[in-house]
């Protein structure tokens, strides 16, 4: 697949920052600190993008609010992966007419994956007059310029041209947490799974340079972050588009070498490219969390082929075996699609049997959602929605019972966990994560947030563990 890497020149990014400073001094002259609300849908990649948008918005001199009626700027960062997400987003965008009626100066921007689809950009243009600015993922780096144009011209701005995508280094970031951080290591996807919209809206696969990623990881560790998640649609192909001769396993090792007590997580791993080298590296790197999210999508070879996944059930199970041989306690999670066009009950039974055989700690399950422009959306789909729902419920029940068993096995064990926040509830007021990423509720003081502590597991349910803090 021919793709010429496009890196945004630093002079361009400086120009964007200068626009931010201009806007900021304008706001200061007017003697007011405007407020912004950034709402995010979709995956962690989108969360990471929103942190960059907030970085720009902060430079512009805005404060932040979670109340849309208070906001002078609302940015909705959208997802297109399933119809359900899009319906919710459109409903919420439509409802902004009320906020706009109260504050005619409110500027509404909609960005992200959903608007990168031409039919959706058109829909916003025709039927959602409340929206002032629309820009796709490829334009995020020039948000300040787009915002200023929409604000100053009072004309609607649409920046959604199709593109293979760019790499922009050094955007400002305003991170949402102080314990856990997202770190995008690559963008886009080349896999074109037949059901998936992501490659169409996120462009071609492109990796950030090795040294840039390691430098950002180092600065996160120095800033006190304890849990760093490396993000990409398929992290296992990291580096393939660069001429640096280093792969994802090398990247984990380099980050593992950064001094400090912290955890390295990553997602998502495509089973087609998961190598023994990766598992070995995970096992050898003491800071790498022993968790792998390895989306299988289906247990039927026939369906995997139709999905264009490039692996079969046997190869997948072999990978799971290798991972468990090297890391006996590894936590395994997955994604599964139920009701892919043409899937039969016997294909679905193969999914159930694979799930039983692997025994996932947790699963994310979805009913197939046809995405306009993808090959699977054109396939005959004879199984009714009701039938798919029955299969789906069966799968969820199986998954819950396995998760319950896995959690029960933690009872009485003492684990090293990272306290990452407050639950907002009385009683079990703290939340923590095990090395493998399982949620643990604890009772304790807020000063423990950001610390690794030992916890003895005393209770559990399908979704979480409950524990008591052990004094050292
Ligand atoms: N890059 C990741 C997945 C990103 S999308 C990977 O390859 O694993 C997250 C999950 O959404 C996918 O794993 C898949 O299970 C689900 N998904 C994607 N497209 C879908 C569709 N059209 N209908 C239903 N589920 C879908
Ligand atoms: Fe979508 Fe497949 Fe790419 Fe994941 S690997 S983002 S499922 S096309
Ligand atoms: Fe959604 Fe885009 Fe992520 S489609 S899942 S927000 S890459």
CB atoms within 10 A of CB 46: 20
Cβ of residue 278 lying under 6 Å from some atom of ligand 3: no
Q: Which residue has the tokens 């007059």?
A: 129
Nearest-atom number in ligand 2 for the CA of 197 is: 1
Cis peptide before 268 (omega within 30 of 0): yes
In this prediction, residue 24 has a pLDDT band, given cuts at 50, 70 and 90, of very high
Site to probe by mutation for ligand 3, drawn from 46, 50, 165, 184 as the one with most ligand atoms within 8 Å of Cβ, is 46
Give the pLDDT confidence score for residue 3 in this predicted structure. 78
Q: How confident is the model at residue 166 (pLDDT cuts 50, 70, 90)?
A: very high
Q: What residues contact 268, with CB distance under 8 A and at least 6 apart? A: 232, 233, 234, 235, 293, 295
Cα 393 to Cα 279: distance, rounded to the nearest angstrom: 32
Tell me the CA–centroid distance for residue 311 and ligand 2, in Å: 13
Q: What is the DSSP string of 35-75?
A: EEEEEE-SSHHHHHHHHHHHHHHHHTT-EE-S-TTT-SEEE
Distance (Å) of CA 375 to CA 187, 201, 380, 382:
22, 15, 11, 16
Placement of tokens 């007021």 in the chain: 429
The pLDDT score that the predictor gives to residue 1 is 52
Best probe residue, ligand 2, of 199, 231, 311 (max atoms within 8 Å of C-beta): 199
**Ligand 2 centre and the CA of 198: distance in Å?**
6
Out of 186, 200, 270, 373, give the residue to mutate to test ligand 2, the one with the largest number of ligand atoms within 8 Å of its CB. 270
The residue whose two tokens read 């004309």 is 155
Cα distance from N-terminal residue to C-terminal residue, the chain? 55
Residue 43 marked ligand-binding:
yes
Residue 266 has pLDDT above 60, yes or no: yes
Taking the C-alpha atoms of residue 437 and residue 245, their distance in angstroms, rounded to an integer, is: 31
What local confidence, expressed as pLDDT, does residue 375 receive?
Answer: 98
- Centre of ligand 2 from the C-alpha of residue 4, in Å: 21
Rounded Cα distance, 469 and 472, in Å? 9
Question: What local confidence, expressed as pLDDT, does residue 396 receive?
Answer: 98
- The phi, psi pair for 426, rounded to 5°, reads -75, 165
The token pair at 206 is: 């492109």
Residue to substitute in 40, 42, 82 for testing ligand 3 pocket (most ligand atoms within 8 angstroms of CB): 42
Note the pLDDT tens digit of each residue in 72-91.
999 999 999 999 999 999 99
pLDDT at 5: 86
Report whether 262 contacts 225 (CB < 8 A).
yes
For residue 104, how many C-alpha atoms fall within 13 Å in the half-sphere facing its CB?
1
Determine the Cα–Cα distance for residues 58 and 24; give it in Å rounded to an integer: 9
Report whether 111 belongs to an annotated binding site: no
Tokens found for residue 11: 């002079």
pLDDT at 380 over 60: yes
DSSP 379: S
| Mean pLDDT of all residues in 63-69 | 95
Atom of ligand 2 nearest to the CA of 270: 5
Indicate if ligand 3 lies below 6 Å from the C-beta of 43.
yes
Return the pLDDT at 277. Answer: 97
State which ligand 2 atom lies nearest to the alpha carbon of 192.
8
Q: For residue range 119-164, what is the model confidence (pLDDT) as tens digits?
A: 999 999 999 999 999 999 999 999 999 999 999 999 999 999 999 9
C-beta of residue 173 within 8 angstroms of C-beta of residue 351: no
- pLDDT confidence tier of residue 4, bands split at 50, 70 and 90: confident
Q: In this predicted structure, what is the pLDDT of residue 32?
A: 82
Q: Which candidate, 469, 443, 440, 438, places its Cα nearest to that of 456?
A: 469
The protein residue with its alpha carbon nearest to ligand 1, atom 3, reads: 233
- Kindly report, residue by residue over 331-373, the tens digit of the pLDDT: 999 999 999 999 999 999 999 999 999 999 999 999 999 999 9
pLDDT for 417-453, tens place per residue?
Answer: 999 999 988 899 999 999 999 999 999 999 999 999 9
Mean per-residue pLDDT of the chain: 97
Tokens of 21: 């400073």
234 lines ligand 3 (CB under 6 A): no
Residue 2 is predicted with a pLDDT of: 65
Q: Are 261 and 226 in contact (CB under 8 A)?
A: yes
Q: Give 266's contacts (C-beta < 8 A, 6+ positions apart).
A: 229, 230, 231, 232, 235, 248, 252
User: SS3 of 403, please?
Assistant: helix
Q: Give, using CA atoms, the residue closest to atom 2 of ligand 2.
A: 193
Q: Is the shortest distance between the CB of 50 and ligand 3 below 6 Å?
A: no
Answer yes or no: are the C-beta atoms of 298 and 351 closer than 8 Å.
yes
**Other CB atoms within 10 Å distance of the CB of residue 348:** 26
Task: Say yes or no: CB of residue 234 within 6 Å of ligand 2.
Answer: yes
Say yes or no: CB of residue 457 within 6 Å of ligand 2: no
Q: Is the CB of 295 under 6 A from ligand 3?
A: no
Q: Which percentage of the chain shows pLDDT scores above 70?
A: 99
Does 297 contact ligand 1 (Cβ within 6 A)?
A: yes
Task: State the Cα–Cα distance between residues 47 and 36, nearest whole angstrom.
Answer: 16
Phi/psi at 366 (nearest 5 deg)? -135, 145
pLDDT of residue 243: 86
How many Å apart are CA 261 and CA 464, to the nearest integer? 24
The pTM is what? 0.97
Taking the centre of ligand 1 as the mean of its atom positions, its distance from the CA of residue 195, in whole angstroms, is 8
In degrees, rounded to 5, the angle at the alpha carbon of residue 110 between the alpha carbons of residues 104 and 111 is: 150
Alpha-carbon span 110 to 46, nearest angstrom: 13
pLDDT attached to residue 109: 98
For ligand 2, whether the C-beta of 270 sits within 6 Å is: yes
Is the Cβ–Cβ distance between 22 and 29 less than 8 Å?
A: no
CA dihedral 139→145→151→156, nearest 10 degrees, is -40
Cα 232 to averaged position of ligand 3 atoms, centre (Å): 11
Task: Please check whether residue 371 is in contact with residue 80, taking contact to mean a CB–CB distance below 8 angstroms.
Answer: yes
Question: Distance, CA 112 to ligand 3 centroid (Å)?
Answer: 8
193 is in an annotated binding site: yes
Q: For residue range 307-328, what is the model confidence (pLDDT) as tens digits?
A: 999 999 999 999 999 999 999 9
Backbone angles phi, psi at 298, to 5 degrees: -160, 155
- Distance of CA 100 to CAs 155, 270, 435, Å? 16, 43, 45
**117 CA distance to ligand 3 centroid (A)?**
12
Measured from the Cβ of residue 53, the count of other Cβ atoms closer than 10 Å reads 24
pLDDT, average across residues 5-30? 96
Whole-number pLDDT of residue 426: 85
The verdict on whether residue 113 carries a ligand-binding annotation is yes
Q: Which two tokens stand for residue 465?
A: 């563990």
Express each pLDDT in 191-246 by its tens digit: 999 999 999 999 999 999 999 999 999 999 999 999 999 999 999 999 999 989 99
Of the pLDDT bands very low, low, confident and very high (cuts 50, 70, 90), residue 304 is very high
Centroid of ligand 1 to alpha carbon of 81 (angstroms):
7
**What's the half-sphere exposure (Cβ side, CA atoms, 13 Å) at 223?**
16
Tell me the CA–centroid distance for residue 196 and ligand 1, in Å.
Answer: 6
């Amino acid at each position: 697949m021919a793709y010429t890497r496009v890196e945004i020149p630093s002079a361009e990014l400086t120009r964007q920052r200068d626009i931010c400073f201009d806007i900021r001094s304008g706001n200061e002259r007017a003697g007011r600190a405007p407020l912004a609300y950034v709402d995010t849908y979709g995956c962690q990649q989108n969360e990471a993008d929103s942190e960059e948008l907030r970085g720009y918005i902060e430079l512009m001199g805005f404060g932040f609010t979670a109340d849309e009626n208070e906001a002078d700027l609302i940015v909705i960062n959208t997802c297109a992966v399933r119809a359900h997400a899009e319906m919710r987003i459109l409903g919420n965008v439509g409802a902004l007419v009320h906020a706009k009626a109260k504050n005619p100066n409110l500027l509404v921007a909609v960005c992200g994956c959903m608007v990168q689809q031409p039919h959706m950009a058109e829909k916003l243009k025709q039927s959602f007059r409340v929206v002032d600015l629309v820009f796709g993922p490829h334009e995020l780096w020039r948000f300040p310029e787009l915002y200023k144009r929409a604000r100053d011209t009072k004309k609607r701005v649409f920046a959604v041209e199709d593109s293979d995508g760019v790499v922009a280094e050094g955007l400002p970031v305003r991170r949402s947490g102080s314990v856990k951080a997202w770190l995008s290591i690559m963008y886009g996807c080349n896999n074109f799974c037949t059901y998936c919209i992501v490659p169409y809206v996120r462009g071609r696969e492109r990796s950030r340079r090795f040294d840039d990623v390691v430098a950002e990881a180092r600065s996160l560790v120095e800033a006190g972050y304890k849990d760093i998640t490396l993000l990409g649609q398929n992290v296992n192909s990291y580096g393939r588009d660069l001429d640096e001769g280093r792969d994802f396993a090398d990247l984990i090792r380099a980050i593992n070498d950064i001094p400090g007590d912290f955890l390295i997580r990553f997602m998502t791993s495509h089973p087609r490219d998961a190598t023994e080298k990766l598992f070995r590296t995970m096992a050898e790197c003491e800071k790498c969390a022993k968790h792998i999210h390895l989306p299988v999508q289906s247990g039927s070879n026939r369906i995997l082929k139709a999905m264009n996944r490039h692996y079969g059930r046997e190869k997948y199970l072999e990978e799971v075996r290798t991972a468990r041989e090297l890391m006996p306690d590894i936590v395994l999670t997955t994604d599964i699609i139920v009701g892919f066009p043409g899937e039969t009950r016997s294909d679905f039974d193969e999914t159930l049997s694979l799930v039983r055989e692997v025994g996932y700690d947790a699963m994310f399950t979805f009913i197939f959602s046809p995405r306009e422009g993808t090959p699977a959306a054109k396939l005959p789909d004879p199984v009714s929605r009701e039938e798919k729902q029955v299969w789906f419920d069966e799968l969820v029940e199986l998954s819950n019972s396995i998760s319950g068993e896995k959690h029960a096995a933690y009872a009485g064990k003492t684990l090293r966990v990272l306290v990452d926040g407050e639950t907002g509830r009385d009683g079990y007021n703290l939340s923590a994560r095990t090395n493998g990423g399982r949620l643990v509720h604890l009772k304790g003081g807020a000063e423990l947030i950001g610390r690794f502590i030992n916890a003895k597991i005393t209770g559990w349910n399908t979704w979480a563990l409950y524990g008591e803090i052990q004094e050292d």
